[in-house]
Amino acid sequence: MESNPFLTVWTKPKETVRQVLESKGFGYTIFIASLAGVGTGLVNVQDSGFEQSLPLSVVYLLAVLLGAAAGVIGAFIAAGLYTMVGKWFDGTGNYRRMVTAIAPCYIPQVVIAVIYVIVAAIYGEQFIQAPDPDTFDMTTLPMSTYIITMLLSAVFGVWGVVITAKAIGIVHGFSSWKGLGVILSVAAVIFVVALVVGIIVAFSFFN
């Protein structure tokens, strides 16, 4: 009997990734990544002040739709980067398997998304309101809620990295530690590219 990845990924991440590789396809990754993206969309509108220029319902609708779309696009881009950079570590994986394998990696982010949906539902407009710059507040939410949300996001985010490292290792046929190396290398590449682009834009702006 096939187990539920949402339950097994917490205690048997490698087995979960292998099961997904055997029984799922691109559609499963799209489904999970879109759910995870909702959380990212809500994070982006939190404390944004967008409610001053758009109706509250529109802000939340855009956060959900654009977040879900960004989640899917980000998953396919990430799979490409993990596949490419994994080759630098003598990996043997391919893009199709990587896209499928990373689906369980987004399950912790789905949990984070649920947390943010609950917080947004409880606080409504207050969730989106920008802090008063004169008070130097970090958020308009109660500080206890803000801290708990951030801590939970950090915990589940770290576990997502662990699962990702294991998934990359399985697809490429090497250790989870090499998988972590791939993640760090991808992060470094993105940082360097962003830095170079930022410098070019800055010089263009001031010249």
The predicted structure's pLDDT at residue 203: 82
Residue count of the chain: 207
What's the chain look like in SS3? CCCCHHHHCCCCHHHHHHHHHHHCCHHHHHHHHHHHHHHHHHHHHCCCCHHHCCCHHHHHHHHHHHHHHHHHHHHHHHHHHHHHHHHHCCCCCCHHHHHHHCHHHHHHHHHHHHHHHHHHHHHCHHHHCCCCCCCCCCCCCCHHHHHHHHHHHHHHHHHHHHHHHHHHHHHHCCCHHHHHHHHHHHHHHHHHHHHHHHHHHHHHHHC
What phi, psi does 142 have (nearest 5°)? -55, 135
Structural domain that includes position 139: 5-206
**Count of domains for the chain:** 1
Provide the pLDDT for residue 207.
65
Prediction pTM value: 0.88
Per-residue confidence (pLDDT) for residue 61, from 0 to 100: 93
What is the predicted pLDDT for the residue at 30? 95
Q: Which of 165, 45, 31, 43 is closest to 103 using CA atoms? A: 31
One pLDDT digit (tens) per residue for the chain, 207 residues: 678 999 999 999 999 999 999 999 899 999 999 999 999 999 998 888 877 788 888 999 999 999 999 999 999 999 999 999 999 999 998 999 999 999 999 999 999 999 999 999 999 888 888 887 777 778 888 889 999 999 999 999 999 999 999 999 999 999 999 999 999 999 999 999 999 998 888 887 776
